[in-house]
Amino acid sequence: MNFAIIRYISGWAILAVSAFMLLPLLVSIIYREYNSALVFLLCTVIFGAIGFLLRLKRPKNHRFFACEGFISVSLAWILISLIGAVPFCVSGQIPSYIDAVFEIISGFTTTGASILTDLSVLSHGMSFWRCFSHWIGGMGVLVFLLAVIPALGGQGIYFMKAESTGPSVGKLVPKVKESAKILYIIYFSLTVLQVILLVIARMPLFDALCITFGTAGTGGFAVLGDSIASYSAAAKIIITVFMLLFGVNFNVYFLILVRKFKDAFSNEELRWYLIIYFAATAIVGCSLFFSAPKHFNLIDIFFQTSSIMTTTGFMTTDYNFWTPLAKCVLVILMFIGACAGSTGGGIKVSRFVIYAKTVKKQFSALTHPQNVKILRMDSKPISHEVIRIVNVYFATYILVFTFSLLLVLVDGFDLVTSFTAVAATLNNIGPGLEIVGPTGNYAAFSPFVKIVLSLDMLAGRLELFPLIVFFYPPAWRRN
């Protein structure tokens, strides 16, 4: 185990998050919230110094493998979460440290689950930090570091694989560092474009920034208690479209940039992503139109379906009052999630496509045992290794979900609340149903269950395996 590289990466992660705190510090100064500004200044100086010291001595041995990559990424996310919660707690705006950790983990993992019952308790600086954490975590802290820190060689792909979403992660260009830069350029450009459009739609600049951070990271933290409901129809439509855009694999945007339009628009996962979205929207719309016409609103239907499928978690209406069929469709979308290689959560569309192809192949083998069929995705053969990993992921997901549900049920809440709380945190969505519905929150859960759900959020964001490896003792004893 290359502990030096783990220490070095941890130092960079701490340094990065302390540097990111300069933005909410600036916001606090602009709004003359000097207590919040002082908190962010102290945190920046103290944690910046710790990060600087940890990364001061560069490791002599740059050789590391997937195990070190998984542990480094998991440790970095845990550290930035513990540090990111400090401003909330020290300022007294979220007095409980466990609650503050839950809130910031929800931010960094782009989940959007909250323990806050009243957003007005947060200053502008703290509210900005809470929403900005979505943008930081959306593309990934380590992906950002790969774009700026001194090169770690081609082995940096292990960090990208551990932090990026989906069953298969590759480089856009031969160098990992250049791939990370391209991803962040696309991410930043889409972010700026949305802010501009929301301002044109007459949304206040502060709100436009915070809402865009949540949209870009497919998070869900807002600055108003009713999330997006109070904004104009134009703003809702813009957010709906951008939630869908950020749920698309960023490789598609890269292919468009290099003018490989045929490859971009023939992407099989993208096709199924759109088919599932529009099919789900149609089912929800028909269900509400015929069974609950007073809740039928096209903008709300398109918005909520987009919000849930992309695991963003914004809301324009309380879908707790929708029909059972409509709510069932939303719960199914929670598990499907967005595309691999996007900022969205969930199991991912590509995994479901591969799994469906695997099942179809098995039935074909039973009926025509002499036929040899090769599974393909985007006209390329799917390796047995990818199929095996997808199957293992599904099995692991079910085990983690079941175990988490049993632990959450200890608090004694109803099954729908507990089930959707686990689904919403493990899939990085935020709102569930009943008590944790779009107008509810997670404040009623005990500190123990909040810790369980916090780990679920981290596990979901890191796609299970990195966090499991982190807590697997033999991994640390690896030679």
* Burial class of residue 223 (count of CB atoms within 10 Å of its CB; 0-12, 13-18, 19+): buried
**Which tens digit of pLDDT belongs to each residue from 249-267?**
988 998 898 888 888 888 8
Please tell me the predicted confidence (pLDDT) of residue 149.
59
**Which tens digit of pLDDT belongs to each residue from 138-194?**
887 767 666 555 545 545 555 555 555 555 544 555 456 677 788 888 999 999 999
Question: Quick one: CA dihedral 145, 151, 157, 159, positive or negative?
Answer: negative
- Report how far residue 175's alpha carbon sits from residue 110's, in angstroms, rounded to the nearest whole number: 27
- Report how far residue 433's alpha carbon sits from residue 416's, in angstroms, rounded to the nearest whole number: 7
Q: Residue 81 to residues 100, 197, 300: CA-CA distances in angstroms?
A: 9, 31, 33
Residues 260-275, mean pLDDT to the nearest whole number = 91
User: What single-letter DSSP state applies at residue 221?
Assistant: -
Is residue 456 within 8 Å of residue 436, measured between CB atoms?
no
Q: Residue 424 to residues 50, 109, 177, 241, 406: CA-CA distances in angstroms?
A: 34, 12, 33, 22, 15
**Which tens digit of pLDDT belongs to each residue from 397-433?**
999 999 999 999 999 999 999 999 999 999 999 999 9
- Report how far residue 362's alpha carbon sits from residue 382's, in angstroms, rounded to the nearest whole number: 15
Q: Residue 126 to residues 29, 30, 123, 129, 204: CA-CA distances in angstroms?
A: 12, 13, 5, 5, 17
Nearest to 245 by CA among 211, 270, 281: 270
Question: Residue 294 is which amino acid?
Answer: K
Question: Residue 138 is which amino acid?
Answer: G
**Which tens digit of pLDDT belongs to each residue from 283-326?**
999 999 999 999 999 999 999 999 999 999 999 999 999 999 99
- Report how far residue 429's alpha carbon sits from residue 421's, in angstroms, rounded to the nearest whole number: 9
- Report how far residue 27's alpha carbon sits from residue 4's, in angstroms, rounded to the nearest whole number: 36
- Report how far residue 120's alpha carbon sits from residue 215's, in angstroms, rounded to the nearest whole number: 21
225 against 49, higher pLDDT: 49
* Residues whose CB is less than 8 angstroms from the CB of residue 294 and which lie 6 or more positions away in sequence, other chains included: none
Please tell me the predicted confidence (pLDDT) of residue 176.
64
- Report how far residue 139's alpha carbon sits from residue 382's, in angstroms, rounded to the nearest whole number: 26
**Which tens digit of pLDDT belongs to each residue from 22-74?**
999 999 999 999 999 999 999 999 999 999 999 888 777 666 667 777 888 89
